[in-house]
Amino acid sequence: MDYVAQLKALPKEHDYFIGFDSDGCVFDTMELKHKECFCPAVIKHMQCQPVSKAAREVWDFVNLYSKTRGCNRFFAIQFFRDLLRERKDVQARNFQVLELKELDAWIERETKLGNPALKAEVEKTGNEELKRMLDWSMEVNARVADMVSGVAPFPRVMDVLKTGNKKADMIVVSQTPLEALEREWEENGMTPYVNLIAGQEHGTKSEHIHFATEGKGYDADKILKVGDAPGDYKAAMDNRAFFYPIIPGNEEASWSRLASDALDRFFEGTFAGLYQQMLLKEFDAALPEKPHWD
């Protein structure tokens, strides 16, 4: 499957374009996935059982409660490793965190950081460290498939989708594996409202928007990214687009404001300036950069 070609082939049917993140933004799944699926698997495969309490705290900070929230899972492993290694309580137990130099090298040279690319690398090289990371990632997906079901979108999401798709071309822009995204959107009857669901297999969030809009005649002030993580904001900035934040911990109020005010401002051309700055200030204040244990 040529995922980039999918994005490039999307037809322009409206003057406006909106990209929506999914986990933690449209769906209240971030806590469930990371605490019940990602973290138990990372403790197992990274052999962090002797420091499991610290490991859980670090994983949650990286993926839920900081400015790295929502990052690609393989970047999350790097952030997790580095922060866990620096903790004094971990050092006091003489626990040696896995170095993962091969993972670092793979991330440096690979552009599509997903299971298909990692599986191909493991099959080509037979590298044991990368196989450990693939086993972890595959187990995470299995845990998610088993655990995460019946999670409805936040209130007012459907209002935004129904209003938005009358005036805008809309896609999902996410770093979640495509299989999980398609399952979650389909079981809630939401797929008819978007033109495409783009997951980690399609590249980065910035690339999703770039390839979906490049050369199609969208004005920069008619492109909007909706998301709950700094990676969503970066994707917007990389494409000179507007950003509407779904504030972690205040998601329902964020969706209510988008449905009742911000979406109209976007379509009417009054989103720029002070309004966008106010939203960005709120978002920046919601997520710390440094962990509290520092």
Per-residue model confidence (pLDDT) at position 114: 86
Backbone angles phi, psi at 215, to 5 degrees: 70, 15
What are the angstrom distances between the C-alpha of 234 and each of 37, 88, 230? Answer: 26, 32, 6
Of 101, 225, 211, the residue nearest 174 (C-alpha): 225
**What's the mean per-residue pLDDT of the chain?**
95
For the chain, what percent of residues have pLDDT higher than 90?
Answer: 88
**212 and 234 Cβ atoms separated by less than 8 Å:** no
Q: Which amino acid is at 110?
A: E
pLDDT at 176 > cutoff 90:
no
Mean per-residue pLDDT for 62-71? Answer: 92
Mean per-residue pLDDT for 177-183? Answer: 91
The CATH class for the domain spanning 3-28+153-286 reads alpha beta
Mean per-residue pLDDT for 96-119? Answer: 93
The domain ranges of the chain are 3-28+153-286, 30-147
pLDDT tens column, 183-236: 999 999 999 999 999 998 898 899 999 999 999 999 999 999 999 999 999 999
